[in-house]
Amino acid sequence: MELYPAIDIRAGRVVRVRRGDPGSEIVYHPDPLAVAEACARDGARWIHVVDLDRVFGEGDQTAVIEELVRRVPVRWQAGGASSTAAEAERLFACGVARVVVRAPAGAAALEELARRCGGARLAVALDVAAPPGAGVTPREVPALDHAGAVALARSARAAGIGAAVYTDLGLEGRLGGTDVAGAAALARASGLDVVVSGGVNSLEEITALRDAGLAGAVVGRALFEGRFTLREALACCSR
């Protein structure tokens, strides 16, 4: 299983926000490059980067991402869930290896994205609905129920996309664990390589994801808050 340490960038700093709420920002480091270099020294093969300025319509951190990719020789996955081929192509021009895409128009949009960008370089975002009362900030694209996530994942596979990033919005940002069973069921039903994002809180959780056959996990807050080290997490992935 691959581990993807997360670097979310807002106004040039490394931050985390909870459940997509820009008002919940926690600043963890003033220098994304220093964080990325530390991840590479500790053995990361992938890093997950998100330009929160673009997500929130506040600006653009493209130049920062370009510098990170140029100076830190790992494979880069760009989150934020681009919804058009032009947005994905902008990130590929920065040198990222994989772009996480969202398809508000469904299967036809995924086919167009895969045709223009290459399905092997894309992952589809699967944001699964939080339960009522979870306090999740509304998103531009409505969250899916499990059946909808399976249907979209199968459409992605049919379009030639090989991976998905699965986020349970009820668990994201809480450090309360992930939906291991739901993510594993989605992987089996779709045939995609499923990367779980949001909620990873312990080495035991990483081990459970690995043993369930998941392809990867995006980890941010747990690393920044010292729940475990990156080297420890990578060791769990490789056992």
Which residues participate in catalysis according to the annotation? 8, 127
- Measured between alpha carbons, how far is 178 from 130 in angstroms, rounded to an integer? 12
The answer to whether the beta carbons of residues 8 and 220 sit under 8 Å apart is yes
**Intra-chain end-to-end CA distance of the chain, in Å:** 9
Cβ atoms within 10 Å of 148's Cβ, excluding its own? 14
Q: What token pair was written down for 68? A: 């990170």
Q: Where are the alpha helices (DSSP H) in the chain?
A: 32-41, 52-55, 62-71, 85-94, 107-117, 146-159, 180-190, 203-211, 221-224, 230-238
Q: What are the distances in angstroms from CA 29 to CA 15, 57, 175, 183, 212?
A: 7, 22, 19, 30, 33
Q: Cα separation of 196 and 168, whole Å?
A: 9
Smallest Cα–Cα separation from 215: which of 195, 231, 234, 232? 195
> Using the 8-state DSSP alphabet, how is residue 201 labeled?
-
Count Cα neighbours of 179 within 13 Å in the Cβ-side half-sphere: 21
